[in-house]
Structure formats: C-alpha cells, structure tokens
Structure 1
C-alpha cells in the first residue's frame, strides 16, 4: 500500500472512533455494558464502510515449481511395422511411462503422428503416410516458450511434407531422435518415382517418366517393363553400378481405348534382394476422347492471364488458348467456354459471333474494362462507373448451391482492383463471392453465375487474380486449392448438361495412400440447396460383392464422405437420398500403393542431422538406457521456480461485506432484545 492509502486509513479510524465516542460515550443513557457493545459494533460498521470507500489494494505473491516438459512424439506409420520395430516401440513407451525418476524430473506428454498429429491414445502402426515435419512444427508451437526437450521415435522415412532435416532451423528446444532400425545397406532395386498424366486423349501418346534407384556393391543388370494385362508395352534392360546408381527413363505409351487404363511398372528383382515390394508400381490413366477447350480472349498482356492459364490447364482434361479479339472469331466454335478478359470496343465482333453460336461466357472485368461498351452489348449485368478505382476483398457465400465450392481463405487473400461503382446483376443469379470494402459489405457481388436459355454465364469483377494464386501458395504451400476453385468454375461453365437435383463429384480412380473422397450436392424441387437431407452411399466391391454403406456429412454447401477405409479394388457406388426417389450411381477404382513398404532401413543420416542442428543427441532403439540417463543427468533441463504476484483490491474481499452485515444485524438484535427499538 502507498503512504497516501495508509493516511486515508488512519483518518478513517479517527472518524470512526470519533463518531462512536460521540454516539455512545458522550451523554449516553445506556448501561456501561451496552455502551461498550454498541460502540464496538458501530465502530466496526463505520470503519468497514470507509475502508471499502478507500479500497486499498493488497499484493500477494505465490511460488510454484514448474518441471520442464518432455514431449514424446511417436511414429505411428506402417513403415515402423514393416521394419519390425512396432514391438520395440511399445516396450520403449512402457519403459518411459514406468520410469519414476524421469516422471519426477519431467512433465511428460505423448503424441503420435502419421499423416497428421494428435495426442497419443493408442498405437496401430497403420498410418499410410509419414509427416515428420508437421509433427516437429506442432510440438514447437505447443511448447514455444517452455523448456521442452523432445524425444522423436521414428525410422526417419518421411513420405509427406517439407524436408524435416531443414524445418528444425528455428526449433528452440533440442530433439533427441530414437532411431528405429539400423543403418545396414542392403542390395536393392526400386522404382523411386513414376510420373505420368492423370488423363490422356484417345489415339494420342502420353508421356511416362520413371526414376530407378540401385543400392548395393558392384554392378547389377535388370529389366524394366510396363505391362497392361498380359501385354508388354515397354521393355528396356538397365545396368547400374556403385557410382551410376540412378536411371531416369522417359518414353511414351499409346492411348488406344477410352476409359480407365491400368498399367504395371516392374523392374525385375535381383537374386539377393530383401525387399521386392518396391520393384512394382501400379498406375492408371483415364483415356478420354475429347478435351474441354477454353478460349481466353484478351487485348492486353497481364499476369492474370498466366494465372488463369496455369489454373485451367492444371487438369489435363482441359486445354486453354489465348487469342486477341481479331484472332478469336474463327476459333470460337471449337471451344466450350469463352473467357473475355477486360473487354472493350475491340471485342464488338467477338460478342456478335458468340451470340450467333450461343456460347457459354465468363467475363473478367477490371481497371481497363470499357463498361460503357459492356453495358450496351449484353443485358445480364451492368455497372455505372466513374474514373475512380477501389480495392475490394472477397467474402464467400456459403449458401451458394449451383456447384460445390470450398472456402480457400478468401478473407486472407489480397484485395482486387476494380472501377468504383456497384455491380448490378439484372437476371436470376447466384452469388459466389460478395464484395467487401475495408471490411464492410458493399452489398454488391464480386463473382456470380447465371443460367439463361440453356447457356451459362459468370462475371468476376476484379483485377489481380495472380495475387490470389500467389497468396494461396503461401497459405497452403501449393496452388491446388486456388486451381480447384477456378477448375470447378470452368467445369460448370463449359458444360451445357441439364442440372440434376443430385450432383455427384468423384474421380475414376484413386491411390489408396491419398485421400479418397466423394462429394455431392442435393437440391429441392426449386433447385435450392437442401442442407436438411440425409444422404448415404452404398459401395460394392465388384470382385467380392461386399457391400458397405457410409453416411455423407454436411460441409457448408455440399455433402462429403471419406472412403479411405476401403481396400484396393474396383467398386460401384450409389448415392441415395432418404425418403426421396433420387439417386446417382458410378464407378471408381482404388489402386494399391503402400509407400510405407518402400523402405529397407532407417534414415539415420537425417535423424542424426536434426539432433546435431538442435543441440540434441541421437540414439538407436537399443540405446534407450543411455537416452534416459542423459536426460536425467542434463543440468539444462531443471525445474524452474516461478512467482506470481497478484494485486487484489479490498472491494473484491467478500468477507468485509459479511462483517458489515453481521455487525449491523447484531446491533439490531441486541437493541430489540433490550427493548430499545
């Protein structure tokens, strides 16, 4: 308390004492005992009230002992079992849990990782991917400001994410890897990587690139082949040595039949190979007889055009061409969708030809758009503009129901530029993106779609799409989410297929180490998205006739199901709506590829590297006693005494209020008892 507060308390004591003496010590007619009783009670009451008005603050300090944290992150992927280390991991976890000295020194927590990262509940060793970099990053975020040496139990074989060897550069706590496996080098041939297009066009050639790797001493010769059923489509003899242990083959295969075509890539195993699983790889290509052709018409050079081209052509089913208005007219009939980028009066003949051919159109407008011309040549939308410009941001309309869209983080994307003025869509439409200015809705659409006389249109009012694609890459470490958004828009606009009440989106084939998802949209009779429906998918294995039924879960404006529990094989499915005679059927294939079976031993080099880079030490699974001893002996990891100082105002002290009530009540009862009231 300050000296000023103490002075106020002394004054309060003097005032309380003076009032009490005046009331019960000066000419009081009560007996001596009652005078003292009433005086004490009145002094307590007055002084307590004055004390509450002064409201002094008291400081208290508490001390706690905080043990250092010890997160243990465990590799729960299938490669641990493939290397025969699953039982060793279980025994190690039991030893850590039962070690009382370790528990006394550290606050231990357990996490497991595979494709994701979570608190450890139980270990199954059946995760189909390993993402060590995410596990390390998550632990670093959880224990950002604490002493937290980290035990990493893994074989070091990562299949997803950034290279964890370099992701620990900002890691503030030491990492102690426990290496599952050994560093023994075995003779091995494997298909390291196989690259090919997902789609090919009928009667065309599609490229295949294969990377083959040899591990061993001396030289080796083997034969690589590509087969489809009993037919061999490609064969080549390959020779390796200790110095030339990698070969890259590039060749083309013919697309001779429409539909899903499955192939087997194989490099013949050597006699002394330990692991032959990685000598084979299944892959598939869907052969289609016609591509979706998109024509982008622009009279200017702009980075938006490059971003559009990359996004549209990210799906091999689509091709994109760029032409000036004067060059576009002869090509309009060869394309399913025409994208008009910032049209002006040079587009006049293009508009006339589009109307004759009844083509679907997407308009993209910006600072160079001639709105006077655009307002005059079409009647779907208009905009009264001035010479001013403005920056606008996007907010997704989660109730959009024409096709399934996901929020790619539009709120975090940089603003686009457009002419000042509100966009007015004059025909029935649905808004995909709403326009915001400085965080406030302008009540004007930024992007909308419309269907008129079996034709489909879209308008996107904003220049700077290349910034969105770049920012999306920074947020998600890839272009896929932005490209999918543009791709779905193009897919909808390029089709004149009549709209169905149940729309299903699926792939013809999946690899079983990747997400296997099917999504659907269900509309009521007015073609308004219905979020109250109950959708189920019945999946039948065409070989075993085993049937499995899954519910579809609602996500924003679409329904979704995860089918990753299904084994490899060919399937037919039916999605149906409960209590409605509406259903859609299809087929898909799951190709067997277990990336976790491709490894022969632990990646000792990388694990030792992250231990060195973070100030930790690495241990083989047989050296866990040394790990425990080193952690216990390390003086860097000691308990810390923390003090917490609290300042509590007296007005928060409820007991003083109770004392005032008690003193007043006591005085009243004593007076009542003595007949003074």
Structure 2
C-alpha cells in the first residue's frame, strides 16, 4: 500500500495600496512625488516579489487594482480600502499591508476606527506622503441622503463640514440644482478645528434623476478648494410600486422578504396568506391588477392549487416570482411551465448554496457583495431532475457541498410581456441573518 503526501508552498501575500488623491501633491514635496517616487515604489515592489506574492491597489473615491500615480481623485475613502481588502483577503495568507498615503480622508469613516482592518489581523505599514502640517482648509467630509424621493415630498440632506485653522471665520453652504441656487446658509467657525452638521429639507419638484451641487464658499488662503464641493443625484419617482407576497402558510421567509423590499422606498408591500381569499376573489383579475409584482411563497400547494388564480392571471402581464419549498405542489407548479420544471423529487430535499452564473446578463452584482453571497447558508431545494425552459436565464445555480450543478437556484424568464422568476429553495431568512452577522446590516441581502 502506497501513501502519497503532496505539499504546496504558498508565498505570503503583500498588499501595496497607493493613495491617488489630489491632496498628495499639495505639499512641498510634490516635485519628488511626481518624479522620483514612482520608480522607487516600483523598485520596492520588485524586491518584495522575490519572496512574496504582491498585489497592488489604488484608492481615492473608490478602490481599483494596480498602482495609479495620477493623483487626481477629489475624494479619499481610506475605510473603503480596508473594507474591500477584508472582503477579498479575509481567509488568505496576508503577510502585510503597505499603504502610501498622506492620511487625509474626506469620505467614509475615520480609518483609525476601521472594523475591517482589525478583522484582517494583518500588520499595517504606512509610507507617509505629502505635508502633514495642518493648513487652513474647509471641506465637505460627507453627505447623507436618500437616493430615492417622491414627487411633491421633501427629502432630508445632512452635510458634514470640517474646518481646520479657521477660528473666527465665516463661510456659506450653498445648494444648487441645474445651476440655480435653491438654498444657502451662513456658517461660523468658533474654534481652530471645527466640525459642523447642516441638516436641510429639499422639495422634490421634478420627476427623474435630479442633480444637486453642494458647495462651500472658499476662505482666503485655503490650501485647496477641491474638497469644497459634493455632488448628489436623487431619483425622484411619481409613485411607489405595489408588491403582494401571497403565501401558503406562515414562514420566516415572509418577514425577511418584506423587510428587504420596504428597505427600498420605491416599493410598498402587502403580505397575505392565501387562506384570506375565497375562490371568487382569487378568480377576479381586477383584485390583483393593483399590484406590480406578486411573490408566491410555496404556492401552488396541495391544499391550495390556485387554479382559479392562475386562470385569472394568465390574461394579464403581471410579473410573478415563485419561491419553491416543502409545501409546494410540484406537479401543479410544473403544469404552469414557469421557467423550470422539477420531476422525481419524492419529497426529498438538498441543502444548496448559490453559485453565480458568469454568463448572466440581465443585471450585475457589485463585486464586493460576492464574497458574502458565496458564504450564504444553504437553502432547502427539492431533490430531483431540473429542466430549464427555453429562453430562461439562471442567475445562480445550486451548489451541493463542493459540487456545482446545472440545477437553477434563481432563474428568470424575460420572454413576452409577462415576466417571471423562480427561486427553487426556501430559507431566505437564513441569508438575511448571515448578512447581518457578517456585515452588521442587511444591505447585501436587500440588494439581492
């Protein structure tokens, strides 16, 4: 009997991140940074690569792969860098993180308190750049607002303003829409270093994507005025879309679906059990025409085959999302020819996790969300033979253990006027809890 042991040595990873913001060139050493700094950084990376795997990034308003030496970013979010690095490298052999930066940030949270950096548990080395002395400067450090608003309503905007070396000075904050000033307020700085918050309400007077420019009146001898402006875009809608969640019976999925949908102000939800309707109502098309989408949870079931309901819905173009579970009558479901058929299930279920289909093109997920989605706990999906309808698109396929199958987990059918989709497993509430555990919120689950 022979026993073979294979060993693979993996080099530690060194991450090098370059601050690409405009503030890097403000100091007296700007000539050095534009001239000698780049080749010296490249030489350092070349030396490190003899013993390590080196991955490089640039950051400013966002984070991108590779070193950028343009130094033209108007915003700097250092906390986003650490968040992205945690999502990518949380289970990797990272030896060190090297960050070249002046430490100035005007977006995101203070990197000193970054939870993601602490969770990485990786040594951090900083290459100090720029002028570290405090110069006179006004800056808009953050703006909080809702990306959606409704026509005729007001929406809140909160502006964070940081002032350095500005004791006794006055300025103004302005808001303009389409080049026309709609708001101004005088602000006074009592101390050398000040932090102010300005909260206002703006009326949504026009439908569509609206652009608002927020700016500060510059002070004399400010080191830079590039951080005196912040642009926001608000999608003004004339009405909310109505969604009905129609369920076979109470289930924790229902609450998690409702919470995810109402997190978007564009939607309102009604959650009902099918037992609340009598047959005459179920066959009444007008009863359901008020909705823009109906979500069927474990319907049709053996107790509620919903022949009257489906007969009424067929005459409309109402979109349907079906969530399959242990109470779903698969024979009745298959007769509907909705995206996929499942045969030979025999009341057996598999624990399945999502595997993203690269060819899916109906919409895209943000890359930073994929790391969390891949670690989502399993859903319960019927064991059996799956056959996707012609013209459908699988968003996720089922992964059983380490085996990636061709069985769809989330699948869409965009043919014709009546759009439909199917989630072939129950237990979505587990995904919501997992998102909260991993990220402290439900943002990824809600967006999904």
Residue aligned with 1:79, SS? helix
How has the CA–CA distance of structure 1 residues 460 and 334 changed in structure 2, closer, same or farther, with 3 Å as cutoff? same
Of 329, 343, 367 in structure 2, the residue corresponding to residue 371 of structure 1 is 329
> Match for 2:128 among 168, 171, 178?
178
Report the TM-score when normalising by structure 2: 0.69
**Partners of 1:400 and 1:311 in 2: how far apart?**
23
Q: Name the residue aligned to 1:157.
A: 104
1:13 maps to which residue? Answer: none
Uncovered stretches (5+) of structure 1, i.e. residues with no partner = 1-68, 487-677
Cα separation, 2, equivalents of 1:255 and 1:208: 12
Equivalent residues in 2 for 1:250-265, closer than 5 Å? 250-265=199-214
Q: In structure 2, do the counterparts of structure 1 residues 178 and 244 end up closer, same or farther at CA, with 3 Å as the change threshold?
A: closer
Q: Alignment length, in residue pairs?
A: 404
Ranked by relative contact order (alpha carbons within 8 Å, sequence separation 6 or more), the top structure is: 1
CA distance in 2, matches of 1:386, 1:71: 51
Indicate how the Cα distance of structure 1 residues 342 and 191 shifts in structure 2: closer, same or farther if over 3 A, else same: same
Q: In 2, are the aligned partners of 1:76 and 1:113 still within 8 Å (CA)?
A: no
Pick the structure with more helix per residue: 1
Q: What SS is found at the alignment partner of 2:253?
A: helix
1:188-224 deviation digits (Å, cap 9, x = unpaired): 4332222223333333323322223333464444433
Is 1:295 aligned to residue 244 of structure 2?
yes
Inter-partner Cα distance in structure 2 for 1:279 and 1:384: 64
Contact 1:339 / 1:364 at 8 angstroms: preserved in 2?
A: yes
1:340, CA displacement in angstroms? 1.1
Partner of 2:162, secondary structure, is strand
Match of residue 21, structure 2, among 77, 86, 94: 77
Work out which of the two has the higher radius of gyration on C-alpha atoms and give 1 or 2.
1
Structure 2 CA distance for partners of 1:239 and 1:316, relative to 1, 3 Å: same
What TM-score, normalized by structure 1, do the two folds share? 0.48
Correspondence 1:392 to 2:392: no
Could you give the per-residue CA deviations for residues 596-636 of structure 1, whole angstroms, max 9, x where no partner exists? xxxxxxxxxxxxxxxxxxxxxxxxxxxxxxxxxxxxxxxxx
CA contact (8 A) 1:198 1:284 kept: yes
Unaligned runs of 5+ in 2: 1-12
1:449 aligned residue (390, 397, 412) = 412
Q: Deviation of residue 457 (structure 1)?
A: 1.8
Structure 1 residue 460 and structure 2 residue 419: aligned? no
Which of 345, 351, 360 lines up with 2:319 in the alignment? 360
Say if 2:61 is the partner of 1:87. Answer: no
The verdict on how the C-alpha distance between 1:371 and 1:441 changes in structure 2, with shifts beyond 3 A counting, is farther
1:462 CA displacement: 0.4
Aligned counterparts, 1:567-582, within 5 A: none
Change (3 A) 1:112 1:299: closer
In the alignment, what sits opposite 1:249?
198
C-alpha distance 182-477 of structure 1, shift in aligned 2 (>3 A) = same
Taking a change above 3 Å as real, the CA distance of residues 71 and 91 of structure 1, as seen in their structure-2 partners, is: farther
How far did residue 438 of structure 1 move?
3.9
Q: Deviations over 1:140-194 (max 9, x none)?
A: 999956xx8x8754201345798366526866657364343123252x4332222
Match of 2:160 among 201, 206, 211: 211
Equivalent in the alignment of 1:335? 291
CA distance in 2, matches of 1:233, 1:315: 27
More displaced, 382-391 or 453-462?
382-391
